[in-house]
Structure 1
Amino acid sequence: MPVPAPRQAEPSAVLPDGGLTLLVIENDPGGSLSGPDMADMTGAAGRPVRIRTARNLTEAERLLTDDVQCILLDLALPPVDGPSGKQPGGACGSDGPDEMDTLRQVLRLAPHHAVLALTAEADAERAAEAVRVGAQDYLCRDELDGRVLSRAIRYAVERKRADFAQRQLTETRLLAKENARLERGLLPHPLLAGSELRFAARYRPGRSRALLGGDFYDTVRTEDGTVHAMIGDVCGHGPDEAALGVELRIAWRALTLAGLCGDELLATLQQVLEHERADEEIFATLCTVDIAPDGRTAALCLAGHPAPLLVSPGRPPVLLPQDGGGPALGLLSPARWPHQEVELGDAWSLLMYTDGLIEGRIGAGTRRLGQEGMIELIARQVKEGLGGEELLDAAVTEVRALNGGELTDDLAVMLLDRG
């Protein structure tokens, strides 16, 4: 489901002994770094800066090993054969090579290294262009000494690392937003136009920072006025299970709108699961409720899933019949899933849920909330006047509090109200 972040090579770091290695690219054997002015050039912790010199890009490619942290490029370096053995190309429409071509080749050759541009004189326009092209900083030859260069090297290395970290952070944020948009788009939007029923749902995946888990639910109304509701749970908590849950939900909606029901519908869903699951041990529990157009009765089908909770005014909440269902999808083939007719009444609330709601712990021990605990919890909150969205929020909040923190299992809970 989520798109993985691409791995990138990190910029070269400072050596363990605190020293720095500088690769100088210039065609003057005497070099800009000779003379007494360079004697005080030091890296971190006062360590001397190691210097390597290349007269062209071919030599630079050979000397550019992992221990090099920074490159000093003389912008006056004449065009020579680059690492590819070809002459650097000129700008479009120009008669000769662009003066920044050599810098661009160095940046392509060493994309994760800090690069300093060395100008022959205080040419602000040329130096600024070098920074715009991609150099971390520039130095003027007539102002160059060991102290200035060592400070510039350290600054360039840290700036390169900071730029890299910022780019990675930006890419991670964009990736997270894209995954969040993708997962939000895969969550269901109930199709209840024309129905008097009210719908509410809450969903909390067990995976950290995920929006989708292996739980799934949906609700649609068909042309005959029947409202079909479904909730299910794919065993497991990873992205593969989340993807399978989405596939089963979409398949259920399509098959229901196409008119399939009963054993034919569940048998087809089981075929989808068997073809799409990553492992033969994967199964899914499912609960479906088909509410008659008058809203007073429903057909209940359980495939290894806990029964819904019926809340009626003036009566204690009760579970719909738990016995008489069929096996979870993916366990037995062929299989049967009997439907049971249940009375709902004139006014009611029907709570459908996954086991994440009832398998949370109570306190520090091993005791679980269970269905009895859930019934007591919902009964108390209904007595306090809660319903709809408020009831679901209060129920999920209390279940988490009883567990002593975030639940480790996926949780989905759906509420349909009439009257």
Structure 2
Amino acid sequence: MDQAGVSPNDGAHLPFGPERGEALRVLLVEDDDADALLVADLLELAGVRAELRRARSVAEALGLLAGAPVDCLLLDLGLPDAVGLGALERVLARMEELPAPPAVVVLTGDTAVDAGTKAMASGADDYLVKGEVDGDRLARALRYAALRRRSAAQQLALYRSEVRAAETMRLERALLPEAVVRDDRISLRVGYLPGGSGLLGGDFFDAVERPDGTLLIVVGDVAGHGPDEAALGAAMRTAWRTLVLSGTAPDDILPLLERVLLPERHGPEIFVTLCQVVIAADRASMEVYLAGHLPPLLVTTPAGGLVCTELTAAGRGRALGIPAPGHWSPHHVDLTDPWTVVLYTDGLVESKVTVDDDGATRQADAHGRLPRLGTEGLRAVVERELATSEHDVVPRVLRRVRKLHGGPLADDAALLLAGWTGAGAGPGERTSTLADSTEWGRA
């Protein structure tokens, strides 16, 4: 045996090691040369294809573990710098820092019945008694310890993935609140469609009716994607609802929201676009506030026909969080029964159109660019779906946009339709769509 350790042997493939057909990577921590040579011989006799490395102390083993991955650590409990369970405890403490901790099999010269049991209770995966080990027993202990450790790591990764998914779902649902609207003649249909990246975005919306009957609606979009932006979106929605419920004047809500945003955002580059609509108690007019956001669509039925138009962007101010002068002025809109106002985020209008209505593939231009759906395209989709049926219009619009795009959208998208059919009409439809199901994932 040389000073560097034991060379890899050329025995048979390990039948069920870390990966079928790959060598089992073993780090032997043993200061006795004769015992180290015996381990190498036993593995070779058992037909185990192993990459065997050797350390003569716990300190040397910890250095080797930090430098190269190991499937199984074969640890002697009698070493120059650690004796007994102290050696095991030092190794296990450092292994917690490794991205993929190896299995640990203890070698002990103590033949007492409880010696190995104590080692396993302290965190070892298995133990072997020197002088009672043959090749098959050694090979089996290493194989199964490595497999058990790998299985435990997979179970832990699965559990963490499930926890993250549950946390993500709770955060997404925070962006899909229960509206505080008492007037049952108001229809309110909302939907949230995560982008194809699988990351959360900061799109949010809400609707609140005040005691005097005034209805306030908001749709907003935090710049960026991920949990930070999603959390900020949920915070902005909560702040908006709090301001509305506290009776804050509509003209003061956006400036106060910006005061909330500035200390809450994680960087000066983060901004929020927002559309706030204030509908009068008699449902005959509304005020539209735009903070760097796209103006809403208005659906009316003049002379019995359905028409969807984009409202003017007059009075649009800067996005919240942009360090520039400016304020937000409302744009007055008169309403005639029946009406539906459509608020949305730019994830819908910025989607690409990869197929035509008949399913034919769209060709890119000379620069390799595909056309965007745009506000006009979204207007046409909304008009078409509403003309077909009022029922489940939000999921049908979202599906239609995804179909035209050819798959999941690149950006998150929020859509809110608030409607009024008249004082003598029956209850309006209330729906909420979070497009997170397996069916949506295949769409």
Q: Structure 2-normalised TM-score? A: 0.71
Give the partner amino acid of 1:377.
V
Q: 1:209 aligns with which of 198, 203, 208?
A: 198
Counterpart position of 2:138? 149
- 1:216-231 counterparts in 2 under 5 A? 216-231=204-219
Counterpart position of 1:408? 410
Give the superposition deviation at 1:203: 0.9
Distance 1:187 1:82, change over 3 A: farther
- Unpaired segments ≥5 residues, structure 2: 1-17, 355-361, 365-369, 422-443
Conservation of the 8 A alpha-carbon contact between 1:207 and 1:213 = no
Counterpart position of 1:66? 64
Tell me, yes or no, if structure 1 residue 41 matches structure 2 residue 43. Answer: yes
Give the superposition deviation at 1:17: 7.7
Q: Deviations over 1:328-347 (max 9, x none)?
A: 22447542433233233333
- Matches of 1:307 and 1:277, distance apart in 2: 25
- Matches of 2:385 and 2:37, distance apart in 1: 82
Aligned residues: 377
Give the superposition deviation at 1:230: 1.0
Which region of structure 1 is more displaced relative to structure 2, 408-417 or 151-160? 151-160
Give the superposition deviation at 1:268: 2.5
* Identical pairs, percent: 36
Counterpart position of 1:399? 401
Q: CA RMSD in A?
A: 3.7
Give the superposition deviation at 1:69: 5.3
Counterpart position of 2:103? 114
Conservation of the 8 A alpha-carbon contact between 1:82 and 1:105 = no
Give the superposition deviation at 1:243: 3.8
Name the SS for the 1:39 alignment partner.
helix
Name the SS for the 1:267 alignment partner.
helix
Distance 1:44 1:230, change over 3 A: farther
- Unpaired segments ≥5 residues, structure 1: 1-12, 54-58, 89-99
Q: Deviations over 1:118-138 (max 9, x none)?
A: 466987776456445432223
Conservation of the 8 A alpha-carbon contact between 2:196 and 2:408 = no
- 1:269-288 counterparts in 2 under 5 A? 269-288=257-276
Q: 1:357 aligns with which of 348, 359, 383?
A: 348
Counterpart position of 1:315? 305
Counterpart position of 2:419? 417
Conservation of the 8 A alpha-carbon contact between 2:308 and 2:383 = no
Counterpart position of 1:267? 255
Give the superposition deviation at 1:52: 4.9
Distance 1:50 1:245, change over 3 A: closer
Counterpart position of 1:247? 235
Conservation of the 8 A alpha-carbon contact between 2:106 and 2:124 = yes
Give the superposition deviation at 1:201: 0.8
Tell me, yes or no, if structure 1 residue 367 matches structure 2 residue 371. Answer: yes
Counterpart position of 1:386? 390
Name the SS for the 1:235 alignment partner.
strand
Distance 1:24 1:358, change over 3 A: same
- Matches of 2:274 and 2:115, distance apart in 1: 69
Counterpart position of 1:327? 317
Conservation of the 8 A alpha-carbon contact between 1:18 and 1:47 = yes
Counterpart position of 2:222? 234
Conservation of the 8 A alpha-carbon contact between 1:262 and 1:337 = no
- Matches of 1:161 and 1:60, distance apart in 2: 23
Distance 1:267 1:33, change over 3 A: closer
Conservation of the 8 A alpha-carbon contact between 1:195 and 1:225 = no
Give the superposition deviation at 1:250: 2.4
Distance 1:197 1:404, change over 3 A: same
Counterpart position of 2:166? 177
Counterpart position of 2:28? 22
- Matches of 1:332 and 1:131, distance apart in 2: 61
Distance 1:340 1:128, change over 3 A: same
Distance 1:316 1:131, change over 3 A: same
Give the superposition deviation at 1:400: 0.7
Distance 1:271 1:49, change over 3 A: closer
Give the superposition deviation at 1:391: 0.5
Distance 1:143 1:405, change over 3 A: same
- Matches of 2:387 and 2:213, distance apart in 1: 31
- Matches of 1:241 and 1:30, distance apart in 2: 58
Conservation of the 8 A alpha-carbon contact between 2:298 and 2:311 = no
- Matches of 1:44 and 1:192, distance apart in 2: 74
Give the superposition deviation at 1:407: 1.0
